Amino acid sequence: MTYQARMDETVEWLNYLQPEGLVVGPNILRERGLNPIRQTPLDTEDAAQALGLPTDARREDDRLFELHDAWRFFETVLEWSAKLVAGAPGGPAIPSELTITVPEHETLLAPDMVVLWKGDAPEGVPAQALVMLHPSLEADDRNQFPSSEWEASPHQRLERLLRETNVGVGLLVARNTLRLVYAPRGETAGWLSWPLAPLGRVEGRPMLAGLKLCLGRSAFFAGAPETRLRALLEASRAAQNEVSEKLSGQVLGALHELLRGLHRAAPERIEALAENNPQHLYEGLLTCLMRLVFLLYAEDRDLLPSSPDPALRQLWEKGYSIKTLYMRLLTDEALNPDTMDDRRGGWGQLLAVFRLIHAGYPGWVTGRGGKLFDPENFPFLEGREKGEGREAATVLPVSDGCILRILHGLMTIEGRSLSNEKIRERLSYRSLDVESIGSVYETVMGFTTDRASERMIALRDEKKLPTFIGLDTLLTQKPADRQKWLKDKSIKLSAKQAKAVKEAGDVAALVEAFGTLVDERASPKATPIGPGAPFLQPTEERRRSGSHYTPRSLTEPIVRHALEPAFERIGERASPEAVLGLKILDPACGSGAFLVEACRQLGQRLEQAWNMYGAEKPVVPPDEDEALHARRLVAQKCLYGVDRNPMAVDLARLSLWLATLARDHEFTFLDHALKSGDSLVGLTRDEIAAAHWDATKPGLPLFRDAIKKAVEGALQGREAIRNAGDDVRIEAQAARYSRVLDASEPARIVGDAVIAAFFSADKPRARETERQKVESWIAGSITPDWEQLRRKGDVFRAEQGWRPFHWDIEFPEVFVRENPGFDAIVGNPPFLESVRELHA
C-alpha cells in the first residue's frame, strides 16, 4: 500500500477549500465515479465574465470582491435553468412556506432563490436547496444587520432557515465567498467555501472543477440519482461511521506501536513500569495519543500557533508542526526505506511541542495549562523518574520509523485511487465531529499493561480486540483441549485453524496455524514477543462490554428530548442567568459525546437569552465568537459527568476542550465537573453524617456538624470555580479545586469506609459489625482515626478497581439549591434506566 502524497484530481479541489465539518467525502466521490472535469482557459474566461471580475483585479483585493449578479453566474457557469429556480429572473415565485419567523428576535428569514425539485419532491423536503444572497457582507460576521434584528451572521441565518424548513442544503453568496452549507436537522452542520475571485483565474481551475461537480446542472437536475448533490451529502455522512471504525482500529494499533517503540528505546525502564506500575504506563501511552489528537485538531483548524504573524507561523510550520513532521518522515522513508528504525529526531520534536503547548511562549503560542500536556504527570516519556527535575530529562532514542507508523495511524485512512489501488489518504480532523474523535479514542479504553512470562502472540478475539495468549502454555495443553482453551479466552477458531492448532508441535507451527487470526496491530509480521516484554491486554470488563459509539444523529435527538422539560420550566424568555443555572448530568459519560451535544444545545439557548436581554450579554473575547463563548460558559457552569474509568473522564474532558477551543485561551477548567467513580454506589450527605447507609440512624452529633462544615467549605470553593471570570488562570482554578478537595476529604473518607463495610459481607449482621468498627474509628478518641478510616476505603477501592461516588459531596451545589437535583440527565438510554430513581 502506498501513501498518496499528491491527491488525485477527484479530491485535489477539496484540498484548496479546507472543508469545515463533513460535507462531501472523497471516498463517496470515487465510489460513484465522480471525477471533476479538467477546466480549460475558455472555462476560466467564462467564469471571469460571469463573475464580473475586472481584468486588472489585484489578488490582494480578492477579499473585497462582491458578486452582485449571482444569477448570471449560476446560469452561465453552473448551467441552472430558471424554470427550476424560484426567485430567478423569469422563474417561478418562491414558496411562502420557505419563509420563517425567528420569534425571539422579531426577524424574518427568507431565501433569495430556491432550487426546486425536478419531478415529485421527497416527503418532508420542500426543495433541493435554498440560496441566500449577501454579496456585500462577510459570511461569518454577526454585526452587519440592523440592531433591531437578530444579531446573527449570514451563515447562521441560512443554517437556521435550512433546519427550520427541513431543506438542509443551502448556498450562501457573501463577500468573495460561495458557500455550500449542509445542515440536516438533528446533525452538525458542515460547509465548503469557494473563494469567488480565484474561480476566474488559472490557479482556481481545480476549485472551479469541484464547484461544477458539486453544484452544476448534473448535481441538481440531470445526473443519475445517486450522483446528485443531496445523495452525495447523505452518503458521505453515512460513510463517516466507516471512517470512524477504520480510524478506531488504527489508533489502537498506534497505541501498541508506541509501547513497542518506547520499549526498544528504554527496555529496562518500560519493563519495570509494566511490572510495578502498569496502570501508570498505560495511562502515559494513552495520554500521549490524546496529546497528538489535540495537536492535529488544532492545526487543522488553524489554531496553532496562536500568533497570526507570518514569520512566527512559518517558524511553527518548519520546526513544530505535526503535519510537517509527518511529511518530513515520509520523505525520509522514501529516501531511506531500510533505515527508518535507525533514525532519530521525531520523538524529541514531539516532546518539545508537548512542553510548548503546556507552558506556551508569549506572543507565539498560548499555554494551555491543565493536566493533558503537563510533563510532570508522565516523566518516563522524557526519560526521567518521578520527582526528578527537567535537567534529568533525556530524549529516549525512539525511532523515526516508530513515530511515522504512529502518525500513519492517526493522520491517514485507507482508500482507493481511481485505478482501484490501495492508498493512504490524509485525514482531515476538520471533517470529524468532536463526538467522532471521542468515539475513536474510546476504543483504546479498558486496557492494561503487563509483562510476558513466556512467548506470546496477539490474536483477534470475538470483539476484534488484539488479545495476547501464551504460546508455550498452549503447547502444554492436550491437542484435543486447545480449541476450548482458546475459546475460554474469547478466541474463536475456524475448522481449518482448529485442526492446524491441534496438530501443531512447536511455536512456529502454532503461529502458522493461526494464520489471519494473528492481529498485526499488536504482533507485526506475526512475530511473537519474548519473556519479559511489555504488552497491552484488554481487561475482562473491556472484553465483556466492548466500546460504544453513539453517532451524532442519535445524540442530538436524545439530548434535545432530555432538555425539553428543563427548557420548558425556565420558559421561552428565560434570562441568561436562568440558562446558566441549569445542571445537566451524564452519569456514564464515556468519551463525552452526550455532554458535547448538551454543550451545543445549551449554548444555543444561552445565545437566544443574550439576544433577548442585551444588557446581560458579556463582552465576547476577540479570539471567540458568541457561539464559542456560550459553549465555554456552559461547560464551566452547567455540565457534569461521571464515569467508572478515570481515563474515560480524561477523554470526556478532551472532547469538551475541543468543543470549546479558542486560539488565545487556556483549556477550560473542568476537573470540578467531570469525575471518576461508580454512579450507582455512594452515600448521601446525611448517610455519611450518620456513618450509616440508613440516614435515619442517630449517628454522632459532633460528626454531623463536622460533615456539614466540610460540605459548606467545599461549596464556597466550587462556586468560586464555576463563576471564575475570563481572566482567571487555569492554575488558579486548580489551586482552588485542591482546597475544595481538602475541605471535603473527611466526608469522602468516611463515605468510602462505610461503603466498604457494606460490601464486606452479604448478611446484615456481619455488615453492621464492620460498620460499627467504622463508627468506633470516628468516635473512639478526641479526633477520628483518619488513618484507619482511609485504609478501609483504600483497600476496598483497590480490590474493586473503582471508587464509590458520593453525589452530595462531589457536586454539593446541585443538592443544596431550592430545587435540588439535576435538571436533566443525558446519556445512553439503557444506562438511564438504572439511574432514573437517583435524580428524578
Predicted confidence at residue 839, as pLDDT, reads 42
pLDDT higher at 616 or 283: 283
User: Which of 417, 442, 467 lies at the terminal end of a domain, its last residue?
Assistant: 442
CA-to-CA dists, residue 691 to 332, 358, 539, 699, angstroms: 65, 42, 34, 6
Predicted confidence at residue 546, as pLDDT, reads 56
Indicate whether 393 pLDDT > 60. Answer: yes
User: Which of 158, 192, 227 lies at the terminal end of a domain, its last residue?
Assistant: 227
320 and 217 within one domain = no
Predicted confidence at residue 7, as pLDDT, reads 47
75 and 115 within one domain = yes
Percentages helix, strand, coil for the chain, rounded to the nearest 5? 55, 10, 35
17, part of any domain: no
Predicted confidence at residue 832, as pLDDT, reads 46
Q: Give tens-digit pLDDT for 712-731.
A: 889 999 999 999 988 899 99
Cell numbers representing residue 44 in the block: 476560466
Does residue 291 contact residue 653 with C-beta atoms inside 8 Å? no
pLDDT band at 173 (very low <50, low <70, confident <90, very high): very high
464 and 379 within one domain = no
Amino acid making up residue 286? L
Indicate whether 752 pLDDT > 50. Answer: yes
Predicted confidence at residue 547, as pLDDT, reads 57
DSSP state of 742: H
Mean pLDDT for 248-261 is: 96
Predicted confidence at residue 729, as pLDDT, reads 92
User: What φ, ψ does residue 534 adopt, rounded to 5°?
Assistant: -80, 150
Q: Give tens-digit pLDDT for 758-803.
A: 999 999 999 999 999 999 999 877 788 999 999 999 999 988 888 9
Predicted confidence at residue 12, as pLDDT, reads 77
Query: pLDDT over 70 for what percent of the chain?
Result: 95
Most confidently predicted of 409-423, 779-793, 802-816: 802-816
275 and 210 within one domain = no
Between CA 655 and CA 253 the distance in angstroms is 21
Predicted confidence at residue 387, as pLDDT, reads 86
Distance of CA 256 to the CA centre of its chain: 21
User: Which of 413, 442, 471 lies at the terminal end of a domain, its last residue?
Assistant: 442
117 and 132 within one domain = yes
25, part of any domain: no
252 and 149 within one domain = no
Distant-in-sequence, close-in-space partners of 21: CB < 8 Å, separation ≥ 6: 182, 188, 189, 190, 191, 430, 431, 433
Between CA 307 and CA 316 the distance in angstroms is 10
Does residue 536 contact residue 259 with C-beta atoms inside 8 Å? yes
328-361 burial, b at 16+ Cβ within 10 Å, e below that, comes to: bbbebbeeeeeebeebeebbbbbbebbbbbbebe
Q: Is 520 helix (H, G, I), strand (E, B) or coil?
A: coil
DSSP state of 220: I
Nearest to 10 by CA among 272, 228, 257, 214: 214
13, part of any domain: no
Q: Give tens-digit pLDDT for 37-73.
A: 999 999 999 999 999 988 766 777 788 899 999 999 9
Indicate whether 737 pLDDT > 70. Answer: yes
Into how many domains does the chain fold? 5
Predicted confidence at residue 157, as pLDDT, reads 93
Indicate whether 702 pLDDT > 90. Answer: no
Between CA 672 and CA 512 the distance in angstroms is 52
Predicted confidence at residue 244, as pLDDT, reads 81
242 and 221 within one domain = no
393 and 258 within one domain = yes
Structural domain of 800: 682-804
246, part of any domain: yes
Amino acid making up residue 753? A
In SS3 terms, 688-741 reads as HHHCCCCCCCCCCHHHHHHHHHHHHHHHHHHHHHHCCCCCCCHHHHHHHHHHHH
β pairing state of 447-451 and 456-460 = unpaired
Between CA 166 and CA 37 the distance in angstroms is 32
Indicate whether 552 pLDDT > 80. Answer: no
By mean pLDDT, which of 101-110, 132-141, 193-202, 590-599 is the weakest? 101-110
604 and 630 within one domain = yes
Q: Give tens-digit pLDDT for 85-144.
A: 999 999 999 999 999 988 767 789 999 999 999 888 888 899 999 999 999 999 988 888
Indicate whether 837 pLDDT > 70. Answer: no
765 and 710 within one domain = yes
Mean pLDDT for 398-421 is: 86
Distance of CA 277 to the CA centre of its chain: 28
15, part of any domain: no
Indicate whether 6 pLDDT > 80. Answer: no
Indicate whether 657 pLDDT > 70. Answer: yes
Q: Give tens-digit pLDDT for 504-532.
A: 999 999 999 999 999 999 999 999 999 99
Predicted confidence at residue 3, as pLDDT, reads 44
pTM of the model: 0.86
202 and 291 within one domain = no
Helix (H) or strand (E) holding 412: strand 412-416
Predicted confidence at residue 434, as pLDDT, reads 85
Nearest to 246 by CA among 464, 404, 19: 464
538, part of any domain: no
pLDDT higher at 433 or 583: 583
Mean pLDDT for 799-827 is: 93
Nearest to 810 by CA among 636, 684, 629, 680: 684
73, part of any domain: yes
DSSP state of 660: T
254 and 317 within one domain = yes
Question: 115 - beta bridge partners?
Answer: 85, 129
Length reported for the chain: 840
User: What φ, ψ does residue 227 adopt, rounded to 5°?
Assistant: -105, 5
Between CA 625 and CA 151 the distance in angstroms is 12
Indicate whether 10 pLDDT > 80. Answer: no
Predicted confidence at residue 829, as pLDDT, reads 65
Question: 132 - beta bridge partners?
Answer: 172
H-type alpha helices, 336-457: 346-359, 400-411, 434-442
158, part of any domain: yes
User: What φ, ψ does residue 211 adopt, rounded to 5°?
Assistant: -65, -45
